[in-house]
Amino acid sequence: MSSQNRTNIPNSLNEHWMPFSDNKSFKKNPRLIVEAKGVYITNHEGKKMIDGSSGLFCNPLGHGRREITEAVSKQLEKLDYCQPFNQGFGGSFELASRIAKKTPGDLNKIFYTICGSTAVETAIKIAVAYHKAKGHGHRFKFIGRERGYHGVNIGGMTVGGMVNNIKAFASILMPGVHHMRHTHLPEHKFVKGQPETGAEMAEDLERLATNFGGENIAACIVEPIAGSTGTLIPPKGYLKRLREICDKHGILLIFDEVITGWGRTGSAFGAIEYGVTPDIMTMAKATTNGVIPMGVVAVKDGIYDAITDASSAPEGAPELFHGYTYSGIPAAVAAALAVQDIFDKEDIFKRAKELSPYFLDGLFSLKDISCVTSIRGYGMMGGIDIQMKDKPGKAGFQTFKHCYDAGVNFKSTGDTLIIAPQFICEKKHIDEIIEKLRTGISNYAKS
């Protein structure tokens, strides 16, 4: 195939094994995207759709941002790659300072990874290394939460709580992991914002600490808002209580902000929005507006100091035996720096916060559609549960297809639609997303 016709349907769809996809049905009826600009994407049939989920929560600044494209291309012409081990380039240090200025508290040490999954794996290893450095090598247990999603690598998959992801690989899970129950209670149906009830679900952590010994637990990891299982908003007081229990037992608190990071809640991070500072925080996705893979782990100064001070390695040997060939590569750093510029210039988190009530009102206006069984939302993210027709887990994708035909694209999971508009949306774009969702969901209900 020549480069000219790469935007059309390729001669063969057989060889590409697509991730998290129903490969067989996709290949019978492909949905290829050939162009993306601003809030719109266009498929191979020339159909223009509004992007209702910022890709996979990746592009809050809109598609095709010239500032990012130009920054990356300039960087590639000057320095395309340099090895990140015992070497570096100025950009990654500048970016780390700029990220550290936006993270809360003393989360000032920045470790680069390749994506969200590798950020989580890194956070897990840093937690283990920290306790070892403090002489607490017995702290090896991790606490995750049901319905959490922390990527697909062994550690992240194990601490995650998405049943299908775990079941398939039950034989190779990380040892020493236990789960708290999720916080989504029956009375949270159609609750806008943070539910008033459910803070007591945090006591699951206290129970696990009692059962297994808090002194044996390395860290507890949660998403401030569970994103991939359909936007589960933390009950009021829940995250604060987790922080208190972690402090009581010397357990590190890790916030996985791969989705909630960079403005999705209306603040730079969920940690800031909910006033709870973790010890380690992961981010990815919007860090580069989705255009080049990059993950980031922000770590408290004290954790970095403990690990680097404890090292007795000879000069030139790493203090932490961990890192990636693509940790903080120049093109990703250039994209992330351009994104930081846009965040600052356009006061983008404020924009997200101001747009949120309009978006949430629109989202909750879909309540009257017969097959909608619950709606949740916070900031610029929402979840809509759809009544299943035959088997559980199919309604989300079936509805997605009707919505795609109606002209709005988003992510579905199980029986839930995940809506996460771009922050650059104007009110008319939110109206368009909601109107097309109404058409698509109603058509699913009638089908």
Residues that bind ligand PLP (CB under 6 A): 115-117, 120, 149-151, 223, 227-228, 256, 258-259, 284
Among 437, 97, 412, residue whose Cα is nearest residue 227: 412
Alpha-carbon Rg for the chain in angstroms: 22
Q: How far is the CB of 420 from ligand PLP (least distance, A)?
A: 11
User: Of 376, 369, 372, 373, which is closest to residue 184 (Cα–Cα)?
Assistant: 376
Distance, in Å, from the CA atom of 291 to the CA atom of 54, rounded to the nearest integer, reads 12
Q: Please, which residue, 121 or 432, has the CB nearer to ligand PLP?
A: 121
Distance from C-alpha of 180 to C-alpha of 88, rounded to nearest angstrom: 40
Q: Between 177 and 366, whose beta carbon lies closer to ligand PLP?
A: 177
Helices 348-364 and 330-345: crossing angle, nearest 10°? 80
In whole angstroms, how close is the CB of 202 to ligand PLP at the nearest point?
A: 19
Min CB(150)–ligand PLP separation in Å: 5
Rounded Cα gap, residues 380 and 403, in angstroms: 19
Strands (DSSP E) found in 63-118? 109-113
In the complex with ligand PLP, the residue whose CB is nearer, 117 or 416, is 117
Q: Which amino acid is at 421?
A: P
Residue with Cβ nearer ligand PLP (56 or 441): 56
Q: Minimal distance in Å, beta carbon 435 to ligand PLP?
A: 27
- Strands of the 33-37 sheet, one edge to the other: 33-37, 40-43, 48-51, 408-409
Q: Which is nearer to ligand PLP, 214 or 270 (CB)?
A: 270
Q: Which one, 156 or 214, has the nearer CB to ligand PLP? A: 156
CB-closest chain residue to ligand PLP: 116
Shortest separation between residue 285's beta carbon and ligand PLP, angstroms: 7
Please give the torsion angle defined by the CA atoms of residues 322, 326, 330 and 334, in that order, rounded to the nearest 10 degrees: -90
CB of 152 to ligand PLP, least distance (A): 6
